[in-house]
Amino acid sequence: MSFDPIRLEVFKNLFAAIAEEMGVVLRKASYSPNIKERRDFSCAVFDQSGKMVAQAAHIPVHLGSMPLSVSAAISEYSSPAGGCSLQEGLHPGDMILLNDPFRGGTHLPDITLVTPVFITADDPTNQLVGFVACRAHHADVGGMTPGSMPIAREIFQEGLILPPVKLMKQGELDRDILKILLANVRTPGERQGDIMAQVAANQRGASRLTELISHYGEYEVNLYMHELLAYSERMTRALIKGLPDGSYRFTDYLDDDGIGTDPIPICVEITIEDDHAVVDFTGSSEQVSGSMNAVYAITLSAVYYVFRCLVGLDIPNNSGCLEPIQIIAPEGSVVNARHPAPVAGGNVETSQRIVDALLGALSQANPDLVPAASQGTMNNLTIGGWDSEKRTLFAYYETIAGGMGARPDSDGLSALHSHMTNTLNTPIEALEYAYPLRVLCYEIRQGSGGAGKYRGGDGIRRDIQVLTDSQVSLISERRKLQPYGLGGGKPGSPGQNRIMHAGIEEPIPSKGTFSLQAGDTISIRTPGGGGFGNE
């Protein structure tokens, strides 16, 4: 069968629709506000080899990293060289659970569920046709603080580590695995509900992919999986070829790692040659003591995201986008940390700074295409404690929006999540219903965006009062170093964090764990985006 461009478009949307429908099932079946309301999850479809064919429009930080989770699952259940085949290690109805950042994960709260898909559920030949997977951020996976986002010194302090293990074996739930997981978290009922929502999402995805095979045939489905990967590669090569050849360097900095106070450099050199790019992070900081280390999967995702954005066309979110790009990330650096480095903040904060560095370099190659820096942080806030009314422990997690960088032809947008996060806020009603918390202030920080011909978007202020004694953990950035402007534009205003206790307001650092008494308020004031062009 020959390649048909119209058929390609049809299959592009068919595969994407499977991932989108998985997301709808996960959102509707989940228990936690973080998944149900904020939609902090991603779903994707993969070919037989584990290459991502389509991802729904969910979380950018999962773009490049989810294929590594699928690869880890395949490796775990493949047989040693010279042994039996892959298919003998994977069966219809299997589902592999993992969150280990050093085996395809990102940070421990992100739990991934991988499901192999076969032609039919009772196929005696066990003919593998692909995989579906979903990843969701769980509001608590154990560790030294509620919410599992501490400033730790080693990964063991951050929560329960799950290597690739079969949660479902030929359709049967392994209750022993589930018991171990639930015994190590503060909110077992919520965790079980969210895990089973992921199971339901994967079941739906596997069913839809099987239906696709039944309708179109295995050969045609495999053909267009391959063609979609090739199409995304061609479009990415065309983007790179349109950039002037040369090397472009940029360095940006994280404020600190939460333990020391020194800024942490992220250095990148992007070399463009014809339709190929080399992205070299040599010169970036060595891995740090605190939780700001990124594993390679995060760096891969950031590179994927930036080049995918610059393509500007409605091409599939798949592994083909990375084929023309070589990534050099020195092992043992903050962009490719070694075990057992703590990594909770690498996924959410270092990923943002990697994007800022990449865009800063690419702005030299095409200044009319790249925006100024956005807020450059996810403002990660976790609050946990004992809910006396519901007589249970609670753990709340949220990332908070800020200002988007101004664009070469327009102002930046205010009060939204940008770059490596694509989540929503937790609605006030949902937050106050689920937790012993009260939102006292939620407003735009007027004037926090950087000045310029086009202004950066403004950040926001979100004040949350705790109604019970609570432990608060915070991982935020751009409190010392401002989001940069471009083309003569001014930087955005830095963020601020404050605690109000007994009528007294005091600043707190960008990262740390703090004890609050009932009635205290934490105030998160997020950065504005950088401006673009001279006023």
pLDDT tens-digit map of 174-220: 999 999 999 999 999 999 999 999 999 999 999 999 999 999 999 99
pLDDT at 57: 73
pLDDT over 90 (residue 63): no
Whether pLDDT at 317 is above 70: yes
Cis peptide leading into 316, omega within 30 of 0? Answer: no
Q: What pLDDT score does 312 carry?
A: 77
pLDDT category, 2, cuts 50, 70, 90? Answer: low
How much is the mean pLDDT over the chain? 94
Instruction: Give the model's confidence band at 82: pLDDT under 50 very low, under 70 low, under 90 confident, else very high.
Output: very low
pTM here is 0.95
The string of pLDDT tens digits covering residues 414-433 is 999 999 988 889 999 999 99
Query: Can you name the residues that pair with 265 across neighbouring β-strands?
Result: 253
Q: For residue range 323-360, what is the model confidence (pLDDT) as tens digits?
A: 999 999 999 999 999 999 999 999 999 999 999 999 99
| Amino acid, single-letter form, for residue 218 | E
**Model confidence pLDDT, tens digit, residues 274-306:** 999 999 999 999 999 999 999 999 999 999 999
* pLDDT > 50? residue 81: no
pLDDT of residue 85: 45
For 129, the 3-state DSSP assignment is strand
* pLDDT tier at 313, thresholds 50, 70, 90: confident
- Report the pLDDT averaged over residues 27-34: 96
Rounded to 10 degrees, the C-alpha dihedral 91/42/300/244 comes to: 130
Q: Which two tokens stand for residue 131?
A: 């995989």
- 62 pLDDT exceeds 90? no
Helix (H, G, I), strand (E, B) or coil at 6: helix
pLDDT score for 535? 83
pLDDT of amino acid 65: 86
- Residue 115 CA to residue 219 CA, distance in Å, equals 21
> Which residues, at least 6 apart from 149, have a Cβ–Cβ distance to it below 8 Å?
109, 158, 291, 344, 345, 380, 382, 397, 473, 475
- CA 17 centroid distance within chain: 20
Give the rounded percent of residues in the chain with a pLDDT score beyond 90.
90
Pick the closest to residue 257 from 338, 343, 339 (CA basis).
343
Average pLDDT for residues 498-516, to the nearest whole number? Answer: 96
pLDDT score at 59 = 77
Mean pLDDT of 251-256: 98
Position with higher pLDDT, 491 vs 312? 491
Give the pLDDT confidence score for residue 503 in this predicted structure: 87
Predicted local distance difference test score (pLDDT) of residue 122: 59
pLDDT at residue number 293? 98
The pLDDT of residue 125 is above 80: no
- Using the predicted structure, report yes or no on whether residue 120 has a pLDDT greater than 80: no
Collapse the DSSP code of 429 into the 3-class scheme (helix H, G, I; strand E, B; otherwise coil) and give the result.
helix
pLDDT at 84 over 50: no
pLDDT at residue 124, rounded to an integer: 54
* Six token digits for residue 338: 């070694």
Which residues lie across from 515 on neighbouring strands? Answer: 471
Give the percent of the chain with pLDDT over 70. 96
Are 108 and 158 in contact, with CB atoms under 8 Å apart? yes
Q: Beta-strand (E) ranges in 147-228?
A: 165-169, 172-173
391-413: pLDDT as tens digits: 999 999 999 999 999 999 999 99
